[in-house]
């Protein structure tokens, strides 16, 4: 199949997505039913099918695994910069000792585990029961994670009602590009934060280049991820995300571009935010 045929096929899929009707979930918050939700059932189903191969370092999620080379230091260093992490512990094996972190949309635990190994008390939440089960099974392989890592099958909005202002940091990596109601999602994430707490997000920008690289090349040409993983219309531009963060009481401390080399399976920081980027925001008092 030629590249032009692939591009035409993906473009038709985009048009179909724009025309489709989405039936909202019904969730319960504070005893009242709400049609607002941070998850899309089709997305949960799609990712649940990948559960058995979530930790396969040569499979579809290997780029997500290697992304830890950037996102783990992003969280660690960001928490030292804000003063949440004690400077005396910076060069110790567990520099994040004493901090509470929630990984929203944790999947099978690829990011939750290394953060817990840095000493933090980590809670991973996800809407997929299958992924939470895989995360729990994998965590059992490392006894050092016991009492440091907890997984819960729940939604962000449900957990925000149960653990409001509990966490020193909220991490949500490669999640918001799958969320339709982004304002609602960001609101729930900020509710989970303590005052002066940090919110770390990695995601995809909505540009022509991200459509060509993040959808056409990644899903249909190089097949780095399964087809249908991403909907370009749900990608979010950094300026849009920053406005949302400000609306819910957070200011942007850092914005970095992220560049992936599929030939070497390596990630690098970049000034270019046209495809992947990371944001560190801090909640005001």
Instruction: Check the annotation: does 13 bind a ligand.
Output: no
Q: Cα–Cα distance between 139 and 153 in angstroms, integer?
A: 15
Token pair of 1, please? 């199949």
SS3 at position 28: strand
Instruction: Check the annotation: does 173 bind a ligand.
Output: yes
SS3 at position 30: coil
Instruction: Check the annotation: does 265 bind a ligand.
Output: no
Residues sharing a CB contact under 8 Å with residue 87, sequence separation 6 or more, in sequence order: 80
Instruction: Check the annotation: does 183 bind a ligand.
Output: no
Q: Cα–Cα distance between 111 and 224 in angstroms, integer?
A: 19
Q: Cα–Cα distance between 103 and 46 in angstroms, integer?
A: 20
Closest among 203, 156, 215 to 178, alpha carbons compared: 203
Token pair of 88, please? 């005396």
Instruction: Check the annotation: does 174 bind a ligand.
Output: yes
Half-sphere exposure of residue 27: CA atoms within 13 angstroms, side-chain side: 21
Instruction: Check the annotation: does 126 bind a ligand.
Output: yes
SS3 at position 191: helix
Instruction: Check the annotation: does 2 bind a ligand.
Output: no
Closest among 239, 253, 237, 270 to 81, alpha carbons compared: 253
Output b/e per residue, 157-167; b: 16+ Cβ within 10 A: bbbbeebeebb
Binding residues: 71, 105, 126, 173-174, 177-178
Binding-site residues for Mg(2+), in ranges, read: 174, 177-178
Q: Which residues are annotated as a binding site for S-adenosyl-L-methionine?
A: 71, 105, 126, 173
């Amino acid at each position: 199949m030629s590249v032009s045929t692939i591009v035409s096929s993906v473009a038709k899929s985009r048009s179909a997505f724009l025309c489709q009707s989405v039936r909202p979930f019904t969730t319960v918050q504070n005893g009242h039913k709400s049609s607002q939700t941070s998850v899309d059932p089709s997305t949960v189903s799609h990712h649940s099918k990948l559960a058995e191969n979530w930790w396969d370092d040569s499979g579809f999620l290997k780029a997500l695994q290697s992304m830890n080379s950037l996102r783990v230091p992003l969280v660690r260093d960001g928490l030292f910069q804000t003063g949440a992490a004690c400077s005396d512990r910076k060069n110790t094996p567990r520099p994040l000792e004493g901090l509470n972190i929630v990984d929203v949309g944790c999947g099978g635990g690829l990011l939750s585990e290394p953060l817990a190994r840095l000493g933090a008390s980590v809670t991973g939440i996800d809407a997929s029961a299958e992924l939470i089960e895989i995360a729990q099974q994998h965590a059992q392989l490392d006894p050092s994670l016991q009492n440091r890592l907890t997984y819960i099958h729940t939604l962000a909005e449900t957990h925000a009602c149960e653990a409001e202002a509990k966490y020193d940091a909220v991490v949500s990596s490669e999640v918001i590009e799958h969320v339709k109601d982004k304002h609602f999602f960001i609101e729930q994430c900020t509710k989970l934060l303590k005052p002066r707490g940090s919110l770390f997000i990695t995601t995809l920008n909505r540009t022509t280049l991200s459509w060509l690289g993040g959808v056409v090349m990644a899903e249909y040409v190089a097949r780095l991820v399964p087809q249908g993983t991403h909907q370009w219309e749900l990608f979010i531009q950094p300026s849009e995300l920053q406005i949302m963060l400000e609306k819910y009481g957070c200011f942007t401390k850092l914005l970095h571009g992220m560049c992936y080399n599929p030939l070497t399976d390596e990630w690098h920081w970049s000034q270019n935010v046209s495809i992947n980027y990371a944001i560190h925001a801090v909640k005001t008092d």
